[in-house]
Structures are given as structure tokens and as C-alpha cells.
Amino acid sequence: MADIIEFLEARLSEDEAESLDSLEREPCPESWANIIATRILLECAVKRKIIAHFNRIDWDYEPAGDQDYMEKFLFIIAEPYMDHPDYQPDWRQ
């Protein structure tokens, strides 16, 4: 699982940096570029919450079915990055 988590954290950091850069360059807060950049930042925050939740789970206590369910979430949120060279095809759901 570490591979998918490391992959996602790297992509989210890239998305956040690009979005923040876009917000700094665009003077008009109501522009589509700013609206999209803001939405990307919010989506990154949500994805980070999912990863944090996954990392907090005590897998020695949780039933195996729950683990499979949460792992699937990680693979699903990685799908938008499937064209990245580090994306592993076996992650595709």
C-alpha cells in the first residue's frame, strides 16, 4: 500500500503547487482559472483526508473486508493520474 500512498501524495503535492501558482498569477478571483484552481485545492484536501483515514486504521483490528474497501478508494482516487509514468496499471479498477 505504501506505493499507492506515496504516488498519490506526490501527485497531490504537484496539483496543489500548480493550483497555488495559478491563483497567484490570475488577478481576477472570479476567473475560470481561479475557480478551477480552487476546486483542485479542495479536491486535494479531500483526497488527503481519505489517505489520512486509511493510515489511521488499525488493520489488525479491522475486518479484512474493510481493508479491501479502503484500498479500493485509494486506487480509485489515483485513476485521474493513470497517464503519469509512475502509475501502475494494476491499480486500475
User: Are 23 and 38 a contacting pair, CB within 8 Å?
Assistant: yes
Strands of the chain, DSSP E: none
What is the 8-class DSSP label of residue 91? Answer: G
- Other C-beta atoms lying within 10 Å of the C-beta of residue 65: 8
| Mean pLDDT, the chain cut into blocks of 10 residues (93 residues total) | 91 97 86 93 96 84 68 92 95 85
C-alpha cell at 44: 486535494
**Which pTM was predicted?**
0.85
Continuous segment of H or E residues that includes residue 19 = helix 2-25
Q: Domain map of the chain by residue range?
A: 2-91
Q: What is the C-alpha separation between 19 and 10, in angstroms, rounded?
A: 14
